[in-house]
Amino acid sequence: MQTEIIPLGTGAAIPVSDRHLPAMALIHDGHVLLFDCGEGTQFQLLRAGIKSLRIEAIFITHLHGDHYFGLLGLISTFTLLGRSTPLTLVGPAGIQTIMCAMPGFDQAHLPFELTYKELHEGFTREVVVETEAYTVEARPIEHRIQAVGYRFQERSRPGRLDPDRARALGVADVKD
């Protein structure tokens, strides 16, 4: 399976004309994951040709604004587009409070299920998203405030070997 990592923004807290605020898309076998969501991420998704409605989960590394200020706009766009598929939002403790502080961003007003997975200070490592195709594990990382690193892992897929065909192609010592 092919996995693509697309940097959408690699800049710091202050926008500059040629580097956007932090965001990265990971595309694996049709699954789209978003890591951080700085301002302007929606424009960068458009420029990269990534359909935002295909995002299955969003992972926020830490609660500095340049890493999540694009979330409200993105979730609002999902609502306007009539998203119906569930979305998982993973981040440090406090991300749900931030999101729900805005009117209309609580579950009662969203047309899709939004599941929050908050990581509390002192966690060591935790699988935060698990599907048949992949897992994402969170681990604490060092920063001025609580911060999280994420590890994407494709699940093993059992292969099939046709021993007779392998032998016919010249592969030596194939066992049935």
Catalytic residues: 66
At position 5, the amino acid (one-letter code) is I
- 82: which residues sit within 8 A by CB, 6+ positions away? 111
* SS3 (DSSP) at 58: strand
- 17: which residues sit within 8 A by CB, 6+ positions away? none
- 83: which residues sit within 8 A by CB, 6+ positions away? 53, 111, 112
> Within 10 A of 81 (CB to CB), how many other CB atoms are there?
12
